[in-house]
Structure 1
Amino acid sequence: MTTTRQILAFLSLFLFAGNALADDETPVINPTATYTSVDGEVTESAEMSGQAPLKGYFQANASNVGDYTATYEWRFTREGSAEPYLTRYEENTEYTFTKAGSHSIVLYATFTKGNDVIQYGQEYWSEQQPLRVTISESKLEMPNAFSPNGDGINDIYKAKDGYQSLTEFHAYIFNRWGQKLYEWTNPADGWDGKYKGKDVAQGVYYVLVKAKGADGKTYNIKRDVNLLRGYTEGTNTGGGTAR
């Protein structure tokens, strides 16, 4: 015989299961970010530090959308600013960071089905940590010498290791008569000491570099370049090592 207590217990269990099912069917978001560095390294992280240009791919990862109509609004804001400098309205979006400093990224999402409206906005993000990106300040130095003698050490004249956050780069090599011998636009590349496929003579050449950093800094570097074919580690031709 079924008692009143058993009926109440059954109803309570039914209501609990119904609420749990409803919660499972509620649309939710889980924003994530994946970054690709200038070296091609891919990193997924909620907080990222790197140099410009840094490419970011942002995903809403919405689930339980079902019959709801979804709208998305990505907001990119610099540290110290109240207003976003960029707003995107797609579910997933890409952006390349070229400005130094700290950036926060949030996703506002709204799911609508009839009179049922579920929002993830300011109130949601007041309790959640935004995605963050920090772009380093720029740095660029050029050496004063190199030794293209085929020993695998300092054979290429290029920017010193440690350059970072350069959004523009253009370098030129000239001889003493002002003739342009070589130019390149990637700081990872450089000059091998040749002109039209042939080795140039040992001596003094000149480099001109025009570059711009993510922090707005401009570089106009002009300096002598000592080409030392007879220099190897353990010898000293008087020119010294590349500095």
Structure 2
Amino acid sequence: MKRLALLLVLIGTVGILRATGGQSKLSISGPEKPVCIGSEFQLFAEGLNSMEYQWEPSEVFSNPTLKNPLVSIYKTTIFRVVRIDPQNGISDTAYYSVAVMEKPVEIIGNDYVCKGDSTYLKIENNFNHPYWSTGERERGIWVKTPGIYNVTAQEGCFRLYGETFVGSKTQPLAKIIASRDMDLCEGEQIKLTSFSDDNIEWSTRERSKSIIVKESGTVLLMNKNECGWDADEIKINVHAVEANFFPSHYECIAPLNLVLFNESDSRLEFNWKLNGETFSNEESPSIYLNENGEYQITLDVKNIYGCTDSKTIENIRVVSEEEYYATNDLVIFPNSFSPNGDGINDEFKVQSREITDFKLVVFDRWGNQVFSENGIDASWNGKNHNGELLPAGKYGIRYSYQTSAGHSVSKLSSIQLLR
């Protein structure tokens, strides 16, 4: 029984040796420096030739079942070998990485693609065997969608690798944002702002995001970017409004029916004030003034856009008949005349209205009366009562008349006789 137990122990020990294969730990040896892409080199697996070997990735090996196979690669590769003991089926695995000679390559093209359009990416023509992440093998490709694109190529022993990100852009949207409605009154302004920040250009030649407009006209906004341009426009209307009128009298005898003649635009709203108090909203009203004094008339106007203007006439005087005729003359005459027979200004003659019983008396510089005549058509030709020519110089005149209201007026003045 002791012999049988010892035999069983010995058999178990042999089994353990076989299970471990009696081999050292599996390892791989090969190039330690980057290799030229496409060049052939050899990898070495640790172990007996009687073992079975399976290399991966199998497609790069001349024979992936050899212990020390030949291999060629075009990119940095991690190799895996499985070693199998055919006697007991026990296997172990090892890994080995071989780098290829690499350097970066520039991808030439835009870093954006316009929505609905495409952009072109390429590498230099002297690089061989290009292969893009899209699966294309051309030197250049057209792309329509944003994303990360990469390419590999070959230059001699070097593997080239490049990567680029293509973003997305849209065509600009030109939109003018106004700070208020587009109907302005004189003196007002409006702020216009571009919705987009893309290459702003206003028809005013300004390039800021916002502009201030004070005048009527069409304002154009253009936005540009790499994907194109867009435009928007807005029309600004500045509405001028003017209050303008004149009264039928600036000074008159009480009582007075003062008529106001409105020369403002008839489409306006009107508000008439007498000494600050509203008395009418008519277009051309009249107002009865029966007390002596000075009056102020104001016209306020407003258009449909709320624009306003105002005009005031001050010192419209309503006076008594005595004061009126004391300060106002119904007779007009020149301050000189030249009785030389040339037909121009040869006579001193008055112009008058609403008077009767006109009398004219002329005096020389010493106070002597040299001429007189009665009647509304009275005139003086520069001669005395005897028809003799009077010398050039300054002469005094006295004239009198009756007004249409029966008021007597008498005044003094002077006239220059020229020869």
TM class, shorter-chain normalised?
A: 0.3 to 0.5
TM (norm. structure 2) is 0.22
Q: Which has the higher strand share?
A: 2
Larger radius of gyration: 2
The structure, 1 or 2, with the larger RCO (C-alpha pairs under 8 Å, 6+ apart) is 1
